[in-house]
């Protein structure tokens, strides 16, 4: 049976889409409309119940890093519920989503990585950055946060493991500033890494090279900036962060 009817995502594919998924909060009418009956427990739950369940799970995690991983998993499963969890609990959740826990998360990024989020653009893409950006499914990107991972929160050169910073910053912009997530894009630029111990980590997934500097680096950054404007808009805000 098709997962689409008149362009509308139906059934299990709707549950698997983190933007469309509402979990047990789908109403009775929605369960009939989207062919969800039998795919969810029968009781329709309120947002309050869902949020309380998630906060109980978050608080039961044994370490702050485990809480970070759990929240990222929730985001990849049910984006709507993620923001419903963090917004009324921002004082408790903000240090987990961003500093100080994001620093530990970046150091362990290859070990806790589960789902792709944002874009990774490396020196291997030099000369083709615009084509790489075209692979991103959203066209109306208004805010980009980008890092090359060289100086992450005073932790040194983390190379490709710096992605936690753009992701974390944008989640705060989404949750606290009301910026629609569909208009934001975290990007990791991989221009190498000078931390040998990190590159020797079996779970390090960046390019295996010392950090590239000088003219090659400048050309790469210039190409990236031009490609962003061509792919999205000259008015797209680009924040560079460490």
Phi, psi of 43 (to 5 degrees): -75, 130
- pLDDT number for residue 48: 98
Annotated active-site residue 98? The verdict is yes
Tokens coding 159: 């190379």
Residue-level pLDDT at 152: 86
Q: What's the pLDDT at 46?
A: 98
Residue 4 — very low, low, confident or very high, per pLDDT cuts 50/70/90?
Answer: confident
CB-CB contact of 130 with 227 (8 Å): yes
pLDDT value of residue 125: 98
Catalytic residue among 22, 67, 169, 173: 169
Statement: residue 205 has pLDDT above 80: yes
pLDDT band at 15 (very low <50, low <70, confident <90, very high): very high
pLDDT reading at 1 higher than 80: no
Kindly list the distances between the CA atom of residue 26 and the CA atoms of 1, 7, 37, 233, in Å, as whole numbers in the listed order.
Answer: 21, 19, 10, 36
The reply to whether 4 belongs to the active site is no
pLDDT at 14 over 90: yes
Residue 182, pLDDT > 90, answer yes
Confidence of residue 2 (pLDDT cuts 50, 70, 90): low
CA distance 46 to 53: 11
The pLDDT of residue 3 is 81
Which tokens sit at 205? 């997934």
pLDDT band at 164 (very low <50, low <70, confident <90, very high): very high
Residue 84: half-sphere exposure toward Cβ, Cα within 13 Å: 18
Residue 153's pLDDT is 87
> What is the CB-side half-sphere exposure of residue 208 using CA atoms within 13 A?
7
CA distances from 186 to 26, 56, 144, 149, 190 (A): 29, 29, 6, 13, 13
Select which of 22, 34, 67, 98 is catalytic. 98
Residues 147 and 189 sit within 8 Å (Cβ to Cβ): yes
CA nearest neighbour of 166 among 77, 238, 58: 238
pLDDT at residue 83 tops 80: yes
Mean pLDDT across the chain, nearest whole number? 96
Residue 220's region, left for phi above 0, alpha for psi from -120 to 50, else beta, is alpha
Residue 28: the pLDDT is 98
Quick one: CA dihedral 177, 179, 180, 182, positive or negative? Answer: negative
- Sign of the four-CA dihedral 131, 137, 142, 147: negative
pLDDT cut 90: percent of the chain above it? 95
| Average pLDDT of span 91-114 | 96
Tell me the percentage of the chain whose pLDDT exceeds 70. Answer: 99
Q: What pLDDT band is residue 154 in, cutting at 50, 70 and 90?
A: confident
């Amino acid at each position: 049976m098709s997962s689409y009817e008149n362009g509308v995502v139906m059934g299990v594919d709707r549950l698997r889409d983190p933007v469309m998924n509402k979990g047990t909060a789908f109403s009775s009418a929605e369960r009939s409309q989207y062919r969800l009956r039998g795919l969810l427990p029968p009781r329709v739950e309120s947002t309050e119940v869902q949020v309380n369940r998630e906060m109980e799970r978050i608080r039961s995690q044994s370490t702050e890093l485990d809480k970070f991983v759990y929240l990222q998993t929730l985001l990849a499963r049910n984006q709507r519920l993620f923001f419903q969890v963090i917004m009324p609990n921002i004082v408790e959740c903000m240090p987990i989503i961003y500093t100080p826990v994001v620093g530990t998360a970046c150091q362990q990024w290859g070990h806790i990585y589960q789902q792709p989020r944002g874009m990774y653009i490396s020196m291997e893409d030099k000369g083709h950055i615009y084509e790489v950006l075209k692979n991103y499914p959203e066209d109306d990107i208004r805010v980009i946060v980008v890092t090359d991972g060289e100086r992450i929160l005073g932790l040194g050169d983390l190379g490709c493991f710096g992605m936690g910073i753009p992701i974390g910053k944008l989640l705060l912009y989404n949750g606290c500033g009301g910026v629609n997530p569909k208009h934001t894009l975290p990007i990791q630029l991989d221009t190498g890494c000078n931390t040998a111990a990190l590159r020797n980590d079996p779970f390090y997934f960046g390019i295996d090279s010392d950090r590239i500097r000088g003219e090659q680096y400048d050309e790469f950054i210039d190409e990236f900036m031009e490609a962003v404007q061509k792919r999205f808009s000259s008015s797209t805000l680009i924040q560079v962060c460490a």
